[in-house]
Each structure stands twice: as structure tokens, then as C-alpha cells.
Amino acid sequence: MVSPAQFKSLFLQDTPFLDVRAEIECEKGSFPHATNIPLLTTDERHQVGSCYKKHGQEAAIELGHQLVGGKTREERIEQWSNLAKSTPSLHLFCWRGGLRSRLTQEALADVGLNIPLIEGGYKALRNFLLEQLKQLSETGRFIIIGGKTGSAKTPLVNNLSSGVDLEHFANHRGSTFGRRVCGPPSQVNFENALIIDLIKKHESHPDKPIFLEDESRRVGSCAIPQDFFQTMKNAPIAIVEVPIEQRIEHILKEYVQQSVEEYLVHFGESGFNEYQTDILASLGRIKKKLGGERHQQLDKALSEAIDQQRKNGNTDAYRPVIQRLLIEYYDPMYNYQMSKLGERIIFTGSDDEVLDWASRQ
């Protein structure tokens, strides 16, 4: 039995887990190195739960043995065994470290495989991470990297040994146009992955601040936990200042060239159509702030730029669209936010200067 005192080392070492909860439980949240092979599938779990409510625990357990018996039991043991044999240091959990995980552990022991069981199950591991986030929010040292849209703040954060990339864990680029093809993780999976990385960076660089990109609370559809977000909002900030030409080129590369490539890989021949649908929908979400006439102009120009790229791969027509969005939409919002930062700003410089300064903190 693995006690809570060992949980931090499990996460620091990227320990693999066998998650035997039902699929529907796993979809709500699990851990980055967990593999879900249920003891009871979602439908089977529902049947057992209904039986428990009507006839009690003993009848529910009996039904569970009936549902997962014979050939079904053999197939599941084989799946667990194959994972255990191919995955050194595998650990096992269910929801609370109860009957499901004990039955799985016993079944694996019967075929000569001894897999450690997590005391308290998934719930205990999750509560451990939430407590770690609370402690870091209260005692950790953080510095925020800010700057106008297109200043390549995310690559800068990733170039710092104690940088934590919020957008990576949210699978979103953090702006109106930041949607990625594969979609977001669940809120719980976002939080779990983020907290694990925060723990790792704090443990490996205890004397350095953790660097995070300046974000709104929502990164795509994922929300930064409220207490931690408040910590970010109180942290000192370093501002990256980049010429607009460089910002345009960065956005062109990341939001157009790389993004279109993702869509083509994912959707094949229909990739351009899917990209156009999503990017114009994103533009539509800020129509009210742009105003009807300006939105119509940008919609037309963006559609023409996509058509040109589709025909001959040329992306030049995007540049004036990007420039207008920066100057007329993003920069005014940024300037307003800057006016409220006050004494939080502790350094301002080019991307190289900020990287050099941050590396010495």
C-alpha cells in the first residue's frame, strides 16, 4: 500500500498508473501517466450501482462478479497483465482505494504480478495535488512574463528552466484565435497536469521563481484555479517589448502556418475548410467589439488570405489582417491593462533582454 507520504515522489518520477475506474470517471479527470483499463465499464458500473440502491451491498457485489466473470474476467486480467509487464513501476488505483482496486490487485497477484496499491485511490492523489497547489499559491515565488499579443511570450517561458506553460496544458494558444485541432482537456486534467509541473519546477529549482505567461483566468475552455490565479495577479511582471513587424511574423508562423498544418494533418483534404470555418468563427466572436463594418472588412480579407494560401501556399495576404487586428483590437486592450499594472512591473526589455534577466533571477 502506497501512503500519501510517497505521493510527491510518484509524481516527480512520472510514475505510471493503472486506473481501474469506469471510463466515465476517467474522462472527468485522471493523471498524465495513467492508463484506464476498467474493472467495471461505465455500463456495468451503472448496473451494479442500481443493484446496490435496490438490494444492498451483498447483491451488488454478486452482480459485479457475474458481470466480470468467465471470459470477460480473463480478458481484463490479460489487459492488466500486458500493461504491468510492459510498464515498470506501475501503480494501481480506483476511486478511493476500495473494492475495485483490491480485486484487481488480487487478480494480478494470482498471475504472479505484484502491483502496489494507492492508499485512498484517485481521490487521495487528487486531494494531494490540490493541497500542493494551495501551498505553492501561498508560499511560492512567481514572476509573470507579459507583453503585447505576438511577442512570443510562450517560447520565452519555455526557454526558462523554471517556466510553466499554461497554454500547453490547456491545449490552447490563449487568445480568441487560439483553438487547437485536438480540443481541450477536461478541467480536472488541466489542473492535474499543471499542478504536477508546478511541483516539478519548484522541486528542481527551489531557489528560482516560477515563470508564467500573463493570461486571463480562462485559457480556452480551461480555467486557472481561482486562488492560484489571484497569486498570479499579485506577482511581479516582466514586460517583453517587440517591434510590430516581429509580432506579425510570429503570429503568421504560429497561428497560420503551423495551425493550418495541424488542420491538414488532422482533417486531410478538408483541412483548409475546417480551418476557415474555425478562424472566421473566432473573428465572429469579437464582432461586437470590432464593430459591424470593420468585422465585415476583416472577414472578407481573411477569407481571401485563406483562399490564396489554399491555392498556392502564399501567406502574404494574412499580414495586413494581422496588423489591423493588433493595432485596432489587441493593442488598445493591452495598453488599458498596462495602465493598471503600476508597481508590479519590475523589468522591461526585448525578448533577449527579458530572457537574460529572467535566467539570472
With bands split at pLDDT 50, 70 and 90, how would you rate the model's confidence at 80? very high
The pLDDT value given to residue 69: 82
pLDDT in tens, 140-157: 999 999 999 999 999 999
Nearest to 148, CA basis, from 326, 360, 280, 275: 326
The pLDDT value given to residue 66: 84
Give dist(CA 227, CA 221) in Å, integer: 18
Cβ–Cβ under 8 Å, residues 174 and 128: no
Instruction: Please say if 26 is a catalytic residue.
Output: no
Q: Give 193 or 69, the one with higher predicted confidence.
A: 193
* Phi-psi map region of 149: left, alpha, beta (phi>0 left; psi -120 to 50 alpha): beta
With bands split at pLDDT 50, 70 and 90, how would you rate the model's confidence at 164? very high
pLDDT in tens, 324-344: 999 999 999 999 988 888 889
The pLDDT value given to residue 57: 83
Residue 234 has pLDDT above 90, yes or no: yes
Cβ–Cβ under 8 Å, residues 237 and 346: yes
Give me the residues paired with residue 279 across strands. none
The pLDDT value given to residue 315: 96
Considering the candidates 26, 51, 94, 222, report the single residue annotated as catalytic: 94
The pLDDT value given to residue 51: 87
